[in-house]
Amino acid sequence: MSQAQDQYVALVEKLLANESEMDRLCGPPGAGRDALKHLYQEMFPRRERHALGEYYTPDWLAEHVLDELSYTDQRMLDPACGSGTFLMAAINRVRVCNGHLQPGQLLDKILDSVAGFDVNPLAVFTARANYRIAIRDLPPAGREIPVELRDAILDPAPEWLGRAEVVAGNPPWIAWDHLPDEYRERTKPLWREYGLFSLSASAARRGGGKKDLAALMLYVAADRYLRDGGKLGFVITQTLFQSKGAGDGFRRFRIGGDGPALRVWRVDDMVRLKPFGGASNWTSVVFLQKGAPTEYPVRYVKWKPNQECQARPVDPARPASPWIVVPNGERVAAAGPSDYQAHAGAYSGGANGVYWLRIAGRDGANLVVENLHDCGKRAVESVRAVIEPDLVYPLLRWGDVERYRAHPSAHILLAQDPATRKGIDEDRMRERFPLTYAYLKRFEPVLRQRRSSGLRPPFYSMFAVGPYTLAPIKVVWRRMDHRVNAAVVEGLVIPQETCVFIETASIDEAHYLCALLNSDEIDSLVRSLSVAGGKGFGSPGMLEFLPLRRYDPSNAAHRALAEKCVSLV
């Protein structure tokens, strides 16, 4: 263990040996508090806990989950118990429900009813310590505290556990592409078994990283640890309910191909509440029962402000399609599909600092450029270079797009063949654009280190560049915005990957589409399909559910929309 871990263990053991200090810091036995949570979080940096997907649950949230599960003293398991917040809340309820028992009987009832696992040895140490604090007034038992160091996903269920009537907790939130390679390999069969994703080549490159370990743990827990008819309440990422592709398998709500169904009866959307402080995660709580199918609409409660809603699949013929969430009593426009296809902007694979440029001047027919070296996921060397102008285009960044207006603030080097969807052949680059090739060659080590898999040679290839990228007329909007804010762009302007666009055949068609996308009706539908500000908001896939009809110049209503857009620019 590290020095900080040694200090933490020593502090906790000292506390456990001092009953008066326990009373002062932890309250009386059965207080239902995770007394060591804050000490644990103070001792270990948030960065370390984030790498493990650890977001320690506020006491009130654990109580809310147990309330909705009607938990009193049933057999309960938290398969990712952390420091023991859910365990402490459950122990308190068992004590209240069984206050008539003799102390020894009460202890047996608690040990039989409340159990937890975790993969982090320090978390298990903390949860066991909390457990001891919660039962310190009861006679010593000849039994082990039922909190084990165990991977609830990969390790088999222990013989002593049996099937729980209630499974509750806050499983780790870790995206697929942030999992260690070895762990991804070991869990692949389980992802497939539960139908959560299929690792085709394209899915591994683009879709796999959007899947979250919390989804797998929910299905494993429901399958392996929950009895038929039992109830589960998990704090999970809200995006699982409304993300296209990544959440489809999750929304099947059935264990495996023909296993027991899972009935979701309530979802709490706490995105705006942000129960984990400043953490930028999309918090929700799902409640389900094993052994019955989900019936729609599902009760969907938005917090802050409180709003009762109903949720259902946007496409009734596809039960696993993203949910549309509508406040009770409100109506939204009927969902798509659209007559148009949208595209993401050009994606450097995390090397914006190489491809994004500022034009500093001219050197004859060539350009003097400076790279925006501190943009992107990693800072790169600051370079001033002379390159040919042929592959340099105006760049439209996220902040450059507003409602009805878009103005490029930088330039981008696009050494990409749109037809082949890979970088221009190196021999051709050396022959036709030797200065540009020399510039890219300076960054070859950085470009080869990009994490984005699936990038084809040459080393400077990019993602998401096709013939549509160079379309001279586009309608552009921002992903991860709080409403749809579309603008018309003319000329060979390249949007970045956090922008989405539709290519059009004429400027009138572009103005028509821009007016439609900025309308309150479309905005309301998009908001009901995704979380404002979330990664899925405004994504290209939303057009699958937006009723955007093809522009007809003979249609007076279409022409009127185009004219309205022009008047607002």
pLDDT at position 55 is: 63
- Flag whether pLDDT at 203 surpasses 70: no
Residue 89's CB: how many other CB atoms inside 10 A? 28
Rounded Cα distance between 153 and 169, Å, is: 14
SS3 assignment, position 136? coil
According to DSSP, the residues that pair with 386 across neighbouring strands are 368
Cβ–Cβ < 8 Å for 323, 377: no
- Spatial separation of the C-alpha atoms in residues 429 and 426, rounded to whole Å: 5
Helix (H, G, I), strand (E, B) or coil at 253: coil
Q: What is the pLDDT of residue 315?
A: 87
Confidence at residue 43, expressed as pLDDT on a 0 to 100 scale = 63
Strands 343-344 and 499-503, sheet pairing = antiparallel
Beta strands 262-269 and 283-290, pairing class: antiparallel
Query: What average pLDDT does this structure show over 459-481?
Result: 93
Dist. CA 438–CA 383, nearest whole Å: 12
**pLDDT at residue 200 is higher than 60:** no
Write the burial class of residue 501 (CB in 10 Å: 0-12 exposed, 13-18 middle, 19+ buried): buried
Cβ partners under 8 Å of residue 468, min gap 6: 343, 501, 503
Considering only residues 194 and 174, tell me which one the structure prediction assigns the higher pLDDT.
194
pLDDT of residue 199: 44
**Calpha distance 542→335 (Å, rounded):** 10
Residue 233 β-bridge partners: 168, 287
Placement of tokens 């609409």 in the chain: 297
Q: Which residue has the higher pLDDT, 178 or 271?
A: 271
HSE-up of residue 359 (Cα within 13 Å, Cβ side): 19
Sheet holding 486-490, edge to edge: 343-344, 499-503, 473-478, 486-490
Q: Is the CB of residue 500 less than 8 Å from the CB of residue 297?
A: no
Mean pLDDT of 467-475: 95
Compute the Cα dihedral for 384, 388, 389, 393 and give only its sign. Answer: negative
Between CA 364 and CA 89 the distance in angstroms is: 74
User: CA 180, 233, 328: angle at the middle one, nearest 5?
Assistant: 115
Locate 144 and state its tokens.
Answer: 């082990």
Residue showing tokens 């001219």: 362
Long-range contacts from 304-310, C-beta under 8 angstroms, 24+ separation: 304/270, 304/272, 304/273, 309/269
- Nearest CA among 473, 466, 467 for reference residue 502: 473
Which has more confidence, 512 or 11? 512
Tokens found for residue 473: 């007329």
* Cβ within 8 Å of residue 31, ≥6 positions away: 88, 92, 134
| Displacement of CA 518 from its chain's centroid (Å) | 26
Residue 302 three-state SS: strand
CA distance 484 to 402: 10
For residue 220, which of 281, 158, 151, 319 has the smallest C-alpha distance? Answer: 151
pLDDT band at residue 204 under the 50/70/90 scheme: very low
Residue 290 scores a pLDDT above 50: yes
Contact 384, 378 (CB under 8 A): no
pLDDT in tens, 312-337: 999 888 899 899 999 998 887 777 78
d(CA 99, CA 58): 26
The answer to whether 153 and 185 have CB atoms below 8 angstroms apart is no
CA torsion 305-310-315-317 (nearest 10°) is: 160
220-240 in b/e form (b: 16+ CB < 10 A) is bbbbbbbbeebbbbbbbbbbb
17-62, pLDDT tens digit by residue? 777 777 777 777 766 677 777 777 666 555 555 555 556 789 999 9
- In angstroms, rounded to a whole number, what is the distance separating the alpha carbons of residues 312 and 317? 11
Superfamily of domain 3-327: Vaccinia Virus protein VP39 (3.40.50.150)
* Domain-wise residue ranges, the chain: 3-327, 343-568
Share above pLDDT 70 across residues of the chain, in percent, rounded to a whole number: 92
Could you list the beta-strand ranges (E) of 215-280: 226-237, 262-269
Tell me what the mean pLDDT of segment 349-374 comes to. Answer: 93
Cα–Cα distance measured from residue 540 to residue 247, given in angstroms and rounded to the nearest whole number: 16
Q: What's the chain's Rg over C-alpha atoms?
A: 28
User: Contact, 498 vs 480, CB < 8 A?
Assistant: yes
Pairing state between β 114-118 and 147-149:
parallel
Give the model's pLDDT for residue 45: 56
Q: Is 269 helix (H, G, I), strand (E, B) or coil?
A: strand
Mean pLDDT of the chain: 88
Residue 377 per-residue DSSP state: S
Q: What digits encode the pLDDT tens for the residues 223-260?
A: 999 999 999 999 999 989 988 776 889 999 999 888 99
